[in-house]
Amino acid sequence: MPRRPSEDEYFAREDELKKAKLAREQKKRSDLAAKESLREQHAGHCPQCGQKLSTAHMLGGRVLRCLDCRGAWLEAPSIDSLVEKARSAQGEGIVDTLLDLLRPTK
């Protein structure tokens, strides 16, 4: 027959569980704060060179462009929109439009 834990063992185990729960909650808050800090530092900036991005609306979506390194980024909904248009009969000209995005503007 298994031995029943003593009252001290029971409360020690309860304390361990509470401490582990608090540690998990603190780590979760810390991870969220770090994520928010990174977002605040980098949102709207080029992932390649760190310069401010400009926004253009093309092909039914938002295109983020870096005028410094000439990078262009599409957000997931914009990519979905492009894929949808490319699959449709109205997809003609998308390649030219994409190439226009990549051409230097300076």
> Minimum Å distance from CB 73 to Zn ion?
10
- Assess 49 for contact with Zn ion (CB under 5 A): yes
CB atoms closer than 10 angstroms to residue 53: 19
Q: Which residue has the tokens 């080029």?
A: 46
Residue 33 or 49: which CB sits closer to Zn ion?
49
Using CB under 5 A as the binding rule, whether residue 53 contacts Zn ion is answered as no
Task: Quote the tokens at residue 11.
Answer: 């409360």
Name the minimum Å distance from CB 96 to Zn ion. 23
**CB-nearer residue toward Zn ion: 44 or 77:** 44
Q: How far apart are CA 86 and CA 90, in angstroms?
A: 7
- Give the one residue of 48, 88, 90, 97 binding Zn ion; rule: CB under 5 A: 48
Contact 82, 59 (CB under 8 A): yes
